[in-house]
Structure 1
């Protein structure tokens, strides 16, 4: 299948404002790109690209005073196969985990393992290890949090989502990641496109999506506590410890977000 992806984000800045942007398709999907989702700006301004410490493609700009439109329109090829479900995947003991996975066991900005460890063990100590334990965590988080865009708050942490029992996809991911780390399972945050392909209507407004990956049996596997079923058409943008590592935009000055639109839809062959 082919998936059209893109966005249009409009800012108004009262003065020239530096920005970091994480909006491009992840390098692991480069072989699937048919039409690149190049970042374009109106008015035209210089763009400098770099890789962050997690290997994500990022861009640096200085937004001019006034209105700035950021937009992209790309096309990617996708297998159309749902997320993998490997129920026999085992949990790797901490002492045998690869060095590069250890950072995803630690607490981070939105994932307060120190506050959640006792709760996690009370909830999941008796769950089977490995895939079944991660799935038990997803099941719990999916039941525990009520989804709603009105509950979005950029400062909300996993602890606060647990207490409030409300949130958006990133809050589901943060709470599940935190529980996984508390149970000694490396987990990392993912952001990207996830359309409604294969799902029955009605469809909500499109947005960038948040999910997570857990390290089991020597591999990273996709989990989605918000939807909690295998989905098709995920297009990864970036990975990190939590949403603080992979913001769509990070601005260094005052600004007003005037409009925000995300597109991800199947295109007929």
Structure 2
């Protein structure tokens, strides 16, 4: 049912061929364009994402990062072709797609007086498991996201960062039965988090990719991207300005051209990944 490749998406463009990683294709996008009002937000984008990789989307405000995630989920009208696990996205029945594609949005408008645990349990809708099994799954993901102590707290009383971690646990619960066919979209997952939870959340994303998930995150912090991503895709004015491993994507000339700010790049003294220093 989840075939790996589709013949019409078999080719790869020159930019992607230069990237120093390999994997099984899970998301294939061809000729993606998005127009909102009179503005072209994404302009003829080609992108292939692979199983077992953590890809970070970077770029200035309004350059199409969140729009790209919304295009993947079908939330907005687009032009172009999409394949998920080798099948056209529009051919996926919604209940089946929900087991394999999870989205953590920038914010949630949920205002019901649910306990945090009940919000996470919403991720179990559509899963085939007993109530006891669901309780075990929810407990597991609460531990992963460090929200066990919030389980009986009223959701509306939580801080922005606590809500963010509760929803991450909900999305992980939703994907519990996806096996290795898992796509996780994270839209600014660290925006409301303190430094500890920024790193634990991205380390969890990194671990999920190591276990076989396809993880795509929108970030604004170039240094967090450099530390955790396998691959960085930089968007600028609706096009891909760079698509490579962090050491090649985060070059001063690329960053200055995209962000209009001078930077220096040094290697981290312990781990070796690029560190971006604004001038």
User: By percentage of residues, which structure has more strand?
Assistant: 1
Same fold (TM over 0.5): no
What TM-score, normalized by structure 1, do the two folds share? 0.29
User: By percentage of residues, which structure has more helix?
Assistant: 2
